[in-house]
A and B are shown apart, each in its own frame.
Chain A
Amino acid sequence: EDQVTQSPEALRLQEGESSSLNCSYTVSGLRGLFWYRQDPGKGPEFLFTLYSAGEEKEKERLKATLTKKESFLHITAPKPEDSATYLCAVQPGGSNYKLTFGKGTLLTVNP
């Protein structure tokens, strides 16, 4: 069974304090790993897709990396507007559409 575990469940940072969120996964052949951002009362917003170990993608203060067992979302010099829940999801090799999501990491960035 495909599983996604995200840690920590919640993270509080001061503005400018860099850190990383972890997404560990077990999946029968990885087709893709996805990161989403979810604000309260909103649906998840797509951030990145990673396809193979060693791949990295960046967007503003966020950088996502992928190994064969986990992915990290690095947040550099975060701002209060980066506060949100970050969701990780995997797409197994046998599916071209179904995603298995983790429970998310609630990030709070204090000014």
Chain B
Amino acid sequence: GAGVSQSPSNKVTEKGKDVELRCDPISGHTALYWYRQSLGQGLEFLIYFQGNSAPDKSGLPSDRFSAERTGGSVSTLTIQRTQQEDSAVYLCASSQEGSYGYTFGSGTRLTVV
């Protein structure tokens, strides 16, 4: 596609429910990243996928968070047993291997009530 596509754009969920956030990167981009943007905070790195290499999961805040990338393309970020502190905008980005410039999607705004 022309850009990075994320869905849904907004998600309201009840505390304790599981949610899935989807990211469709730019075609041909081998690297995919998830970041989280909380109110008043800088973007926080969550996870990085590069081709067939093992992902860097070092930024995932707890074992309730997981992510996968199927076929080197679409990625899903799953948050289990959501908590109110999980409320944030979850941003996905992609880039070509070796490129320093990420292209971000518009994000999914997650609200846990």
| Interface set of A (CB-CB < 8 Å, partner B) | 4, 32, 34, 36, 41-46, 49, 87, 89, 91, 96-104
Contacts and interface: CB of A to CB of B under 8 A. Distances in A.
Contacts of A87: 42-43
Contacts, number: 54
Given A32-B100, A91-B100, A97-B50, A43 B105 contact: yes
Interface of B: 4, 31, 33, 35, 40-45, 48, 50, 56, 59, 91, 93, 95, 98, 100-107
Given A98-B59, A101-B44, 15 more contacts: A4-B42, A41-B106, A43-B4, A43-B104, A43-B105, A44-B43, A44-B102, A44-B104, A89-B43, A98-B56, A99-B45, A100-B45, A101-B35, A102-B42, A103-B41
A87 B104 CA distance: 13
Contacts of A36: 104
Contacts of B107: 42-43
Contacts of B56: 97-98
Nearest to A49: B100
A103 B48 contact: no
